[in-house]
Structure 1
């Protein structure tokens, strides 16, 4: 990972309590995703497009985990450097402001966030308005985690 990417991730780490949810006008969709060794629970998350969402990432694992959402790579595409795929294909690019908060550490706001690191025993809250419909991959790209099955699906309807 490039140094500037690491700095971006560290900044995102300073924002740690994530929620996501869908409902009617003026309401916020709230979803909690538990990160453990080595899976997401639930493995599939569905959000309603155009409605504010708060996704809370809760790390119950023994190690740090990452949370990225991006366009699913084409079948058969071999990816050796995940940042080269995740950064240009992140779900959060072009959807407007994304706010994340690490409880007790502060917040990070921006339009170019692509991953959120969640230390063990911590939580991160991500607030955004999902406006791109489709099916996207959620994953942890800490070394060996993805290969161990730490991935899931985000569906935006």
Structure 2
């Protein structure tokens, strides 16, 4: 019954993303995979990324192929330090979904069960922004992003405790 509830909640909150709504950040915005000029493979391990840093060019559209080789769910989230700090609070509020059947293969966080006015209503810097994907253990997912201008950003896993344990990397936009 619990999984049926989660499935219904996921279906209801994924409708805006199906309508083509996206969020623009100072450093860029989500893009269709077909527009990528380069593909970068990122391996998510317990508790590390390979590679540990990435370089992109302003104006470049990159398709990230994310492979979770770990035994835990991990996310790939693009943002600055302040965005990650806020996102970590939101992830803490929904950690029950992460470990109790809420993780689905390649799940875009906009599909997580969160509603207006709750602690899980994330806005542009959270799950609805298209800058995050959650990857179940042993699974693959993709995120495609167009980088607009240089900005101090990181890629990180904000599953509770992972960022603090070092699962964060620098993304240089030239």
Q: 2:158 aligns with which of 121, 126, 141?
A: 141
| CA-CA distance at 1:27 after TM superposition | 7.1
Match of 1:94 in 2: none
CA contact under 8 A between 1:39 and 1:151: conserved in structure 2? yes
Q: 2:39 aligns with which of 30, 53, 77?
A: 30
Higher strand share: 1
Structure 2's unaligned 5+ residue stretches are 1-5, 15-34, 91-104, 111-127
CA contact under 8 A between 1:29 and 1:47: conserved in structure 2? no
| CA-CA distance at 1:136 after TM superposition | 0.7
Structure 1's unaligned 5+ residue stretches are 12-25, 74-78, 85-100
CA contact under 8 A between 2:154 and 2:171: conserved in structure 1? yes
Normalising by structure 2, what TM-score?
A: 0.54
Residues 65-122 of structure 1 deviation map (CA, whole Å, 9 limit, x = unaligned): 011111134xxxxx576357xxxxxxxxxxxxxxxx94xx89x8xx822321001111
Please give the secondary structure, in 2, of the residue aligned with 1:82: helix
CA contact under 8 A between 2:66 and 2:140: conserved in structure 1? yes
What is the number of residues matched between the two proteins?
112
How many Å separate the matches in 2 of 1:121 and 1:151?
Answer: 20
Match of 1:82 in 2: 88
How many Å separate the matches in 1 of 2:133 and 2:167?
Answer: 14
How many Å separate the matches in 2 of 1:126 and 1:56?
Answer: 7
Identify the range of structure 1 (123-132 vs 54-63) with the bigger mean alpha-carbon deviation: 123-132
Question: Which is greater in Rg?
Answer: 2
Whether 2:70 is the aligned partner of 1:61: answer yes
Please give the secondary structure, in 1, of the residue aligned with 2:138: coil
CA contact under 8 A between 1:37 and 1:62: conserved in structure 2? yes
Higher helix share: 2
CA contact under 8 A between 1:33 and 1:57: conserved in structure 2? yes
| CA-CA distance at 1:46 after TM superposition | 0.7
